[in-house]
Amino acid sequence: MQLQMDATSLDRFLAEAFPQVADDFVIETVGEELVVRLLVGHGHLRPGGTVSGPTMFALADVGIYLAILARIGPVALAVTTNASIDFLCKPAAGRDLIARVRILKLGRVLAVGDALIFSDGDAAPVARASMTYSIPPK
54 binds its own copies (CB under 8 A): yes
18 binds its own copies (CB under 8 A): yes
In the complex, minimum distance from the CB of residue 120 to its own copies, in angstroms, rounded to a whole number: 18
63, 76 Cβ separation under 8 angstroms: no
95 vs 128, beta carbon nearer its own copies:
128
The residue among 67, 89, 83 whose CA lies nearest residue 14 is 67
Q: Which residue in 87, 95, 100, 120 binds its own copies (CB under 8 A)?
A: 87
107 vs 121, beta carbon nearer its own copies:
107
Site for its own copies in 96-135 (CB under 8 A): 104-105, 107, 109-110, 112, 114, 116, 124-125, 128, 130, 132, 134
87 vs 120, beta carbon nearer its own copies:
87
**Three-state SS annotation for the chain:** CCCCCCHHHHHHHHHHHCCCCHHHEEEEECCCCEEEEECCCHHHECCCCCECHHHHHHHHHHHHHHHHHHHHCCCCCCEEEEEEEEECCCCCCCCCEEEEEEEEEECCCEEEEEEEEEECCCCCCCEEEEEEEECCCC
What residues line the site for its own copies (CB under 8 A)?
17-20, 43, 45-47, 52-55, 57-58, 61, 79-90, 104-105, 107, 109-110, 112, 114, 116, 124-125, 128, 130, 132, 134
